[in-house]
Structures are given as structure tokens and as C-alpha cells.
Amino acid sequence: MERRLKYGVLRLIHGDITEQGVDAIVNAANSSLMGGGGVDGAIHRAAGPELHRECMEIIKKIGRLEPGGAVHTGSGRLRERGIKWVIHTVGPVWRGGKYREAEALERCYRNSMALARNLGAESMAFPSISTGAYGYPVEKAAEIALYAIIDELESHEGIEEVRMVLYSTYDFKIYAESLKSL
Ligand code: APR
């Protein structure tokens, strides 16, 4: 499923983000960039130890990465798959919706895309940020993610393709329904 926008195309993909041949992939990290489970674990495993070393260098400089923020590293062994950069962003932990979780989630997508544009990436892939361990309801997260990506692709030149990569059939279905209604 895809949507053509003014400057690029948004594609929904059912699959694994580490297997996407795009310039940049986005990691749903935590504030200490320590690595973890879920998509974070999958990306670190596929990229190898270089990624962790680079993340620790960043943390030495900035202390911690706040929810909504985004930083980048190289891609370690993922270079062999054509991926040049990993963009690490931290989604909000869902606490019922009254703690500006939506704003933080939207910033994850917009800041990651701004960073990708600055790096010169022409293609990038997102996982469904915050909807795993961080508990964000996927229907709500899908609407925010897709709206932010569409708006960025309508207003900024540079990125020609954004893949939203959904790991489960259920999440793919929810994102597809959400895209139809936007
Ligand atoms: N490719 C794409 N998506 C994946 C993959 C993968 N290889 N593996 C898991 N996912 C999906 C999950 O199914 C979920 O829908 O990524 C989505 C986000 O889930 P999490 O990885 O749990 O991310 P999040 O909810 O943002 O929680 C972040 O989890 O791993 C830790 O260090 C991370 O503390 C941080 C927290």
C-alpha cells in the first residue's frame, strides 16, 4: 500500500526493518541508547558492536536523549545491506495520553525526517515507534505517525521514499486502515 505525496512516496511494508535497502533506518531506542529488546535489539544484533560503541560516544556527549529527540550513527554491518545510517529516536512511554505523549511521538517522526534530510538520505524506514514495550495504543500511534510523515513529504524536498515497516500482520492492518482514512 502506498501514497504519493508532493515530494515523495510513503509505503506501508509488512516486514523486518533490518532488511530494508534504504539509506537510513530509524531505531525505537531508549534515552540511554543502551540497546534493548524489540526493534532496538534486532537492529543492534544485525549491525554488530560498532553501533553500541557509537551510541555510547553520543551519550558521553549529551547525557541522555529525551523523548522526541533524534541522533544518528553509522550502520555497522548493515552497510552490507545498503543502509548508511541508523537514526535513534526515543518514543514516549504511554501513560494514558494526558502527558503530551502524542506531541513527543510526532516529534520522533518529524525530527528523524529532518535529520535524514540533513544527512542527505533519499530513502528511509520507520518502525512503529512506542507501540511495543512502551505501550502506545497502535491505532492512535498510527494516525500520528502517518500524519507526520505525510505532512513532511508534502512540505520538504529531499526524501523520496519513506517506508513504514510493520512487523506484525495486525499492525500492518491497523496502519493500512489509518492510511485509508487520512
Ligand atoms: N522490524 C520492524 N519492527 C519491529 C522489529 C523489526 N525487526 N522487531 C520488533 N518490531 C516492532 C514491534 O512489533 C513493535 O510494533 O517494533 C514496534 C515497536 O516496539 P518496541 O521495539 O518494543 O519499541 P517501543 O515500544 O518504542 O519501546 C522502546 O523497548 O527495546 C526497548 O530499548 C528499547 O527501551 C526501549 C523500548
Question: What residues does each domain of the chain span?
Answer: 2-181
**Integer angstrom CA distances of residue 65 from 30, 31, 157, 164, 175:** 8, 5, 27, 23, 27
Any ligand 1 atom below 6 A from CB of 17: yes
Mean pLDDT of all residues in the chain?
98
Dump pLDDT digits (tens) for 37-70. 999 999 999 999 999 999 999 999 999 999 999 9
Q: Distance from the CA of 27 to the center of ligand 1, in angstroms?
A: 8
Nine-digit cell string for 8: 515523495
Dump pLDDT digits (tens) for 116-154. 999 999 999 999 999 999 999 999 999 999 999 999 999
Q: Specify the pLDDT at position 174.
A: 98
pTM of the predicted model as reported, rounded to 2 decimal places: 0.99
Class assignment of domain 2-181? alpha beta
